[in-house]
Amino acid sequence: MKYVWPLALVALPLLVYSSRSDYASVQHKFELIEKDQLRPGSRVTLSPRELNAYAQEEVPKIAPDGVREPRLELGAGTATGSAIVDFLKLRSAQGKPPGWIMRQLLQGEHPVTVTAHIDSGGGRATVDVQRVEVSGVVIEGRMLDYLIQNYLIPYYPEAKVGQPFDLSHRIDRLDVQPTHVDVILKK
């Protein structure tokens, strides 16, 4: 047990460096795609470590108050994102504080997990949210559809949930697997 702390102190800088290295790697790959610097038909592979490093770096920039510890897990054609969310801070930061009843219901931090199926091809993609879990309460099926249509879409009208959207930068499709995501460009 006396060797655990020194080992942890040595490992911590390596983990921080690894995270920064993964972030720099994925950022470079995104830049190549966005600047159209890759050959037609190219395949760019993104690892879960790179995607998690990107989420940990970028989510605080998008939602500095209200979202922490973002994490992504991949499956066959699916992605599951999780984070600790303070809905009140998040809404207030957007300049839209909720009413009294919603404040009472949403007060404090909540673990949130969202699982979505991703289908793509021909330069288009569709993201279907399959399951949401908030503080251990699972939301699926009709209730989830209702919440998406009546709460998510009105607050975030640019969100494309359950409907196809165009992929930019000559991307043909995304191949989501448990060990990686391949971004495949049009030939």
| pLDDT one-digit tens code per residue, 76-98 | 999 999 999 998 888 777 777 77
**Residue 182 DSSP code:** E
d(CA 144, CA 165): 21
Over residues 171-185, the mean pLDDT reads 98
165 in Cβ contact with 118 (< 8 Å): no
Rounded mean pLDDT of the chain? 88
Which residue, 49, 48, 70, is CA-closest to 58?
A: 70
Over residues 37-65, the mean pLDDT reads 94
Strand ranges for 38-147 from DSSP E: 43-46, 67-75, 78-86, 109-121, 124-134, 137-139
Tens digits of residue pLDDT in 136-165: 999 999 999 998 998 888 878 888 999 999
Least confident of 8-17, 116-125, 176-185: 8-17
pLDDT, residue 3, reads: 44
Instruction: Provide the residue type at 122 as one letter.
Output: G
Beta bridge partners of 86: 109
